[in-house]
Structure formats: structure tokens, C-alpha cells
Structure 1
């Protein structure tokens, strides 16, 4: 309680208010809550409480709590939060992830942490090296479970679960709840309590959302215009591709706007350096791809811009969730060229909102009227008797184990 007070925690968020007592009653949990609503504390605090309440027999056989995260950034973020929560206790924790040497992580594991935060790939590598055992795990958390499935980690997750005792408490947290998550939950949870503090795949009310119709060649000029309007405030920009992220940064630098990019091709050191510079305000714009979307937690981030609309509507929810966190106000603006109308339609359908369109900016396209038309692919999907072809919108599932 002293640690929470020193961190400024006063009133629990809705997900914390429901999850904490449920977890303390030793139930498995299937929780769905919007990103930025305090899920990390919702599962970490009751686990820490239970670890403190249990007497230590003096024999260390491995970590007692395992928290799996899909990306390095999210794992680091969870680790930083847990460091605050256990700062007044004797509990130890560590974080392991790929992209960096495992030497220092192995040294940290030898300090016998009770809580381990890990990405699936590095965790299995360390187990294969026989420097880590999961035989003592009593608490298993899958954070951002939908993202782990999107990234192709299902087999890795199944391998990890097979190494953990069945006598455990399992907590599955996710911002969206597709059918694949429900199936995973039915396989690994025992009589779970379901918690949903908001409509599934919804966006928080504190985020002001808007769409900017713009031709693709004009996107960079519109971005520079909006960044300058921010008058020094930090802007997080999302690009669909790694190459596109680097290209945006280069073009912004040419017009005098400082920025950097983080994506899977960047080393962990470079990604952390860019994120640190962004938080410190030494660069104005941080351009990220979706692999980093779940792990960016920046206090009072005012503006998120979708330079490219995501081709998976659930990704939109996670992207804009980087702003408007913990009750703060935020703004999410999305660029949409004429070829991205289908993505926009799918997003609006998912979040059950019609997003307002801004038509008084300097780069409004000539074919503005065409944006009011429903895209052909969307018209096809409205016919329940016609099988939809998903090849246009959905990309093949990819594995990112080497990246995380």
C-alpha cells in the first residue's frame, strides 16, 4: 500500500475493481478491457499479495508467477510497473525478451526471482538452455492474448503451458475477444470468472477520434501540418510497414521535424533509445509499426496519428489506446486515402461508431464525395449468403519469434 501511494494510486479503475477481489478468491479469470485501463495492476497486485501471504519453504525451484507478453516493449513496461509495486517488499522479479544477449538475463534469473515477465520466444530458449524451470509456477498470466495469437505464438504458448503444473491460477487478459481467444480460454482456464468492463473491442470515451480524407501523396504534408499545429507536443504516428516508418522519419527531418522510428528491424537498444528520447521530449515524433503498439506507455500522450489505417480493425483499438490512458484526455486522428475506405468501414463496424470526417484541412482530396460510398468489398460482406474473400484485407499470419 505504501508503494501504491507513493506511485499516486488512489482509486481503482473499473477493471481493477472487478479483477483484484476475484483473483484474490483464487478464481481463473478471462478479462476483456480497453487498453490503457490499468490491466497490469489488475493482475499484478493480487498475485503479489498472494505471494507475500504464502510462507517460503526456503527451497527455490523457479519463479512462482509467470507473465507472458507478446512484445519486448510490453514486457519491459510490465516489468517497470511491477518494480514499483514490489519496491517495499522482499519479492524479486525480472524480465526476459529476445533481441538482446541472454547473458545478463541469465544472471538475473540466478538471483531467484519470484515473478518472471517474458516473451514466449526467449522464454523457451532459456528453458532449452536449462537455465530456467517452470515447475514452481502457480500463477500464469497471458497479457494481450489476442496479440499473441495474431503473432503466431499459439504453439509456443501451448508448449509453455505444458511445462507448468496444472495446479495453478490462470489469468487471461485481452483488449479484444475474438473467437480464437474464447477457444484458448476454454482450453486453459478452469471455470473462469469473466470480466468485461466495457463493450468488447470498444474505444475509451476520453479519446477524441476523427478521420482525415487525404490522397496518399499528400499524407506526409498533412502530417507535418498537424505536427506543427501541436506546437511542441509529442505525436505518436503509426505506419503499416517498417520501410514506411523509416521513410516517414526521413521526410519529416527534411522539413525540420525531429523524429525516430521503432519497429522489428531495429535493435532493442535502438528501440529503447528512441522511446526514451520521445518520452524526454528531445524528439517530437515517434513512428511505430504495430509490433510495438502494445508496449508503448507514455504518460499524458495527447495525440496519436494513424498515417496508414490498419488492415485489421482490432489493431485500430490498440493503436489509439496509446492515448487517453488512465482517464486522461487524448486525440486519435486517422489518415484515409480512397483505397483505405474498406479498412475504415471495418473499423467503424467493429467499434460501433461512425467516426467524424474532417473536411476543412489544407489537403482535402478532389474526390471527397467518393468517401461517402460504401466500398465494394464491404458491400459484398453485407450479403450473408455470399462467402467473403478475405485475401484482400488480411495478411498471412506471421511469426515474430525472432523479433521478440
Structure 2
């Protein structure tokens, strides 16, 4: 199948061809036709399946077929959980709309809002946004969503994970009841299905990969290791393998900073990316990682969500996540677009329970190796680490958001800005 057979306009096909794409991915083949027909769509797609183009291309076509008003109110709203993902989607929108008379903009927190507000005043057809900054600008009277025709909720599972449920609910009250809705999620939990029921109208269900499945081309491996020897082992693996591009996940921001310092001390160029880093620092780190000047990027889950890193060969879980679904998101950073990839997890005794839960979720037993000199501690406790904190991370987004808002008014601007800064 080619893009020509999907019913896309010549202007879009020209932009697609310019990017060098010839064949649509499975999610694009399944999602684009019903979206062009004006139907609501609920899509399940792992990262790296081409889902952004799956909703961007038909969205742009629908808008381009209608008369553009002089004032250019926001007609399509794409809501995403993180700054990085918002920026990447905006780049895609700009590239695909190159030969169309449409304007687009992106807004997110962590940066000065004045340039964003100025761009909105000039008129925007397609707006890509994170929830906090979007509501801030709406509350200040700098943005109206009263003429939104298409609403896209991307990375819906991560939205709930990050406690944005109430913000989403508020945004829903600001857009017209009559609209087309598109919702994309890597996993379909009960909470996601409940959210979808409240947003979508008789949606078409499309799925690119089985729910919660991992990419077949990813080679997964576990190294059993003593907790205190993890840093030494990760340095050995990267150095001996002469790996040039490695994404490493830690559980905390402090852990990311500490590991980065140790890697640099060992002569391995590295940078940390997490919510405490400024947007400028995060952008610089990602650019260095992509151009090869930084070999290792150490990240927390939220900061890495949505990062577009083509052909990433290695992902290492320095600490495996206590939420099994996060493992799927993490290793999905490699093995993208049909390329092979390797996902390695360093597992200490106190992470045994987490490993068991992960293997149960993905339905396979991950091969285990032990490196001489970095053996696991036979006397270490297998009691889960941070059990009181890790296991308290609620799978119920309503409960989580409620807890978060209990210390302040339900949806204060300061609360939203705080969430934006943490990302």
C-alpha cells in the first residue's frame, strides 16, 4: 500500500515524498481513512510506529479543505503530556503542512509565555500544547478554544500517569461539544477506557500492535548484579562494547545526576535529562545525544517520554521500574521503525518482585546473565525497594490527581505551572 491510496491530497503527498517516506506504517494505514471520514478514533500504538503522522496528515487535510477565516481561530487542538513531545509533534505539523495554507503553533511551560501569546494573536489553525500552559493562557484570556473542530489527545496513558486528568476535564469544557476526537495511547487500562468513553463518540478502534506487547526486534536481557556494583557494571558494558548511543533510565532525578557524574568521571560523555533541568538544558542534551557528542543520556521516565531518537541501538534500565507498563515504554525507545535494538536491565535482589511483574505483563521470561566480578549479593534482601513509595503510585488517575490537588485549590494556576516545571 502507498500513501496515494489513502486519499491524501497532492500537497500532503508532496510533503510526505519530501521527507522520503513511501509506504505508510500499519497504524497510518488503519487510522488515516476513518479520520478523513470524520469519525472519532481510539488508537493503540507503541512509540515509534508512526502514530504522529497517523493523526497529523488527515487532520491537516480536513482543515485545508475548509475555508480559512481571516482571524484564524484554533481549529485543531493536539494535547500532549510533555514539552519534548509537543515540540516534536509541532515539527511534524510544520513539515507536513509546508504546501498548505495553514498556520500552527506550540505552547508549553518552562519558557516565557509572551512569544507564545504573540503568535496566538496572529492566528493559528493547529495548536499543539501541554495542559498546564494551555489552561494558563485560556484563564488569562489570551486563548480561545471555542472554535476547535478536531481534538487530539496523544499519549493518553502518560497523561493519566502524570496526573493531568482534571486538567483534561477542564479543557473539555472549553471546546465545543460538536467536534471530532482522536485519542492515542500505548496501553488501554480501565482508566484509559473510562476516559475514552467520556470523550469519544462511537469511535473506530484501531490497533497497530497487541496491547502491552513489546517490539519483536528488541533483544531483551537481564544482568543480575549487586546493587552497589551497578555503576561499575554499566561502565564496563558501555566501554567494552564501545557503545556510542545509549539511553539509560533511572528511577529518580538524583539518581540520574549521580550516575551521569560517575560516567563522566570514567571518561564517558553523558548528560542527564529530567524535570529539574531547564528546557534549554534538556534541548541541548538531546541535540548532543543525537549528533553523537554525548554517548549516554541518563533520563527519568517522564522526561524521556515522547523523545524522538531514530535508530537508538541501546536502552539500559539502571533501575527497573516498579510500574510494569513503564518497562514497555522504556524499551520501546529502541527497535523503532523496524530497526533492531537491545534493552538491558540491571537487576539487584530488591528488584526481584518488579522483574517478576514485568515478565508477567509481557508474557516472556527474559534471559539472565551474570558478569564475573559483578555477581549479585547472595545475602541481600529481596524485599522491594521503596515499597512504601513505589507501590503507592496509584493506577487510579482520579485518586492520584485528587491527592495532588488536596494541598491547594483544585486547579490553581500555580499547581499547573508546578507540574509543567517538574516535567
TM-score after normalising by structure 1: 0.92
Match of 1:304 in 2: 315
1:69 to 80, 84, 89: 80
Provide the aligned length of Structure 1 versus Structure 2.
388
Deviation at 1:364, TM superposition (A): 2.7
Report matched runs for 1:144-163 at 5 Å.
144-163=155-174
Counterpart Cα distance in 2 of 1:357 and 1:15: 33
**1:232–1:346 distance in 2 versus 1, CA, 3 Å:** closer
2:195 is aligned to 184
Aligned to 1:393: 391
On the 8 A contact 1:311/1:394 being kept in 2, the answer is no
Q: Assess, with a 3 A threshold, how the Cα gap between structure 1 residues 341 and 190 changes in structure 2: closer, same or farther.
A: same
Number of the residue aligned with 1:246: 257
> 1:252–1:390: structure 2 CA closer, same or farther, 3 Å change rule?
closer
1:360: Cα distance to partner?
4.4
Structure-2 change in CA distance of 1:108 and 1:392 (3 Å): closer
CA contact (8 A) 1:98 1:403 kept: no
> Counterparts of 1:316 and 1:160 in 2: how far apart (Å)?
30
- Does the CA-based 8 Å contact 1:312-1:394 persist in structure 2? no
Aligned to 1:20: 32
Q: How does 1:3-18 map to 2 (within 5 A)?
A: 3-18=15-30
Task: Measure how far apart 1:111 and its partner are.
Answer: 2.8
Question: Given that residues 77 and 297 in structure 1 are in contact (C-alpha distance below 8 angstroms), is that contact kept between their aligned partners in structure 2?
Answer: yes
Q: Which residue of 1 aligns with 2:97?
A: 86
Q: Distance in 2 between the 1:362 and 1:86 partners?
A: 55
Q: How many Å separate the matches in 2 of 1:117 and 1:98?
A: 12
Q: Within 1, Cα distance between the matches of 2:363 and 2:66?
A: 45
Q: Which residue of 2 aligns with 1:384?
A: none
- 1:205-235, CA deviations, whole angstroms, 9 ceiling, x for partnerless residues? 1211111111111111111111113425111
2:7 corresponds to which residue? none
Q: Is the 8 A contact 1:242 1:263 kept in 2?
A: yes
Could you give the per-residue CA deviations for residues 112-156 of structure 1, whole angstroms, max 9, x where no partner exists? 121111000000001111111001111101100011011110000
Q: CA deviation at 1:362?
A: 4.5
The residue number in structure 1 matching 2:422 is: 403
Partner of 2:411: none
Aligned to 2:407: none
1:200 is matched with 211
1:130 aligns with 2:141: yes
- List runs of 5+ in structure 2 lacking aligned partners: 1-12, 395-399, 405-418
Consecutive unaligned residues in structure 1, runs of 5 or more:
378-388
Contact 1:300 1:328 in 2 (8 A): yes
Output aligned runs, 1:49-64, within 5 Å. Answer: 49-60=61-72, 62-64=73-75
Q: CA deviation at 1:24?
A: 0.8
Give the distance between the partners of 1:360 and 1:224, measured in 2 at CA.
Answer: 13
The root-mean-square deviation of aligned C-alpha atoms, in Å, is 1.9
Determine if the alignment matches structure 1 residue 224 to structure 2 residue 222. Answer: no
Aligned-partner SS, 1:295: coil
Match of residue 6 from structure 2: none
Post-superposition shift, 1:394?
3.5
Residue 346 of structure 2 corresponds to which residue in structure 1? 335
Q: Secondary structure at the match of 1:300?
A: coil
Q: 1: CA distance between counterparts of 2:69 and 2:49?
A: 36
Tell me the distance in 2 between the aligned counterparts of 1:312 and 1:135. 38
Contact 2:79 2:154 in 1 (8 A): yes
1:386 matched residue in structure 2? none
Structure 1: how far apart are the matches of 2:112 and 2:317?
33
**Cα distance change, pair 301–392 in 1 and its aligned pair in 2 (3 A):** closer
Cα distance in 2 for residues equivalent to 1:403 and 1:104: 22
Offset of residue 366 of structure 1: 4.8
Q: Does 1:35 align with 2:47?
A: yes
| CA distance, structure 2, for counterparts of residue 392 and residue 401 of structure 1 | 22
Which deviations, in whole Å up to 9, do the C-alpha atoms of 1:80-129 show, x marking residues without a partner?
12121112222111110001111111122123121111000000001111
Selected match of 2:301 from 281, 290, 303: 290
Q: Deviations over 1:177-206 (max 9, x none)?
A: 110000000111100111122211111112
Judged with a 3 Å threshold, the aligned counterparts in structure 2 of structure 1 residues 361 and 53 are, in CA distance, closer, same or farther, namely farther
Aligned to 1:44: 56
Partner residue in 2 for 1:381: none
